């Protein structure tokens, strides 16, 4: 698959870049996408929810009533889960929500997401660019030149570029990330994905190992 390379003014440079069909033209696997996005969301959970159990409640351990004949459920001390203010049965405990997902499944998920973007003609390749200093105005000019204003836009760069990141930070619905950190959720969440020319090679290297 070949895609025309544009400059930051939105003009065709006359050059084309080849997108690997093994990445951008596969049979998408929706279940792999689901698992990879689920893993990303799970890893972002703090897992710090905690409630006190019976043994952790501060209170007397004196048995309040007799064992039988009270007409209600058996209970011991005032910390019983049966009573208001008592401990909680099987309450949440601090835990890690992450789980294991094989590398090949994660790669398949990213390839599937990129394939969907290619099928939707939502992939744009531009020349590598940077700024001398952070300028939100320059980033807005690029967005307007590429005719993606108002859309959720993901810029994928060959590497981390703090100047470009700071230039886009205050623009709504625009995200910037290096190609090495590309994940399934970010690709699917964007309406259009703009890749710098050098990012294409980085993605090829990462997803064909």
Q: The domain at 2-27+105-207 falls in which architecture?
A: 3-Layer(aba) Sandwich (3.40)
Q: Are 154 and 178 in contact (CB under 8 A)?
A: no
In terms of pLDDT, which residue wins out, 133 or 209? 133
Task: Evaluate if residue 14 carries a pLDDT over 80.
Answer: yes
Which tens digits make up the pLDDT trace of 181-209?
999 999 999 999 999 999 999 999 999 87
Task: Evaluate if residue 1 carries a pLDDT over 90.
Answer: no
Helices 197-207 and 103-119, packing angle to 10 deg: 140
Tell me, what's the pLDDT at 208?
85
Residue 110: band (very low, low, confident or very high) from pLDDT cuts 50, 70, 90? very high
Which tens digits make up the pLDDT trace of 135-176?
999 999 999 999 999 899 999 999 999 999 999 999 999 999
Q: Where is 92: in which H helix or E strand?
A: none
Tell me, what's the pLDDT at 209?
74
Tell me, what's the pLDDT at 133?
94
Which tens digits make up the pLDDT trace of 40-88?
999 999 999 999 999 999 999 999 889 999 898 888 999 999 999 999 9
Task: Evaluate if residue 27 carries a pLDDT over 90.
Answer: yes
**Domain range summary for the chain, segments of one domain joined by +:** 2-27+105-207
Q: Are 171 and 140 in contact (CB under 8 A)?
A: yes
**Residue range 105-111: mean pLDDT, rounded:** 96
Q: Are 164 and 135 in contact (CB under 8 A)?
A: no
Return the structure tokens found at 20.
């690997």
Tell me, what's the pLDDT at 70?
87
Task: Evaluate if residue 127 carries a pLDDT over 90.
Answer: yes
* Average pLDDT for the chain: 94
Q: Where is 4: in which H helix or E strand?
A: strand 2-6
């Amino acid at each position: 698959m070949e895609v025309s390379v544009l400059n930051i003014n939105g003009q065709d440079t006359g050059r084309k870049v080849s997108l690997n069909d093994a990445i951008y033209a596969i049979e998408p696997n929706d279940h792999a996408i689901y698992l990879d996005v689920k893993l990303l969301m799970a890893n972002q959970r703090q897992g710090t929810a905690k409630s006190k159990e019976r043994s952790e409640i501060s209170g007397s351990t004196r048995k309040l009533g007799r064992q039988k004949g009270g007409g209600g459920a058996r209970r011991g001390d005032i910390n019983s889960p049966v009573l208001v203010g008592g401990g909680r049965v099987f309450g949440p405990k601090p835990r890690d929500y992450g789980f294991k997902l094989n590398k090949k499944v994660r790669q398949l998920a990213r390839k599937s997401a990129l394939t969907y973007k290619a099928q939707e003609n939502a992939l744009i390749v531009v020349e590598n660019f940077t700024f001398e200093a952070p300028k939100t105005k320059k980033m807005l000019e690029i967005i307007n030149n590429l005719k993606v204003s108002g859309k959720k836009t993901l810029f994928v760069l060959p590497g981390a570029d703090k100047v470009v990141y700071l230039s886009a930070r205050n623009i709504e619905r625009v995200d910037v990330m290096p190609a090495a950190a590309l994940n399934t959720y970010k690709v699917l969440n964007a309406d259009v994905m703009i890749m710098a020319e050098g990012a294409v090679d980085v993605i090829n290297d990462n997803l064909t190992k």
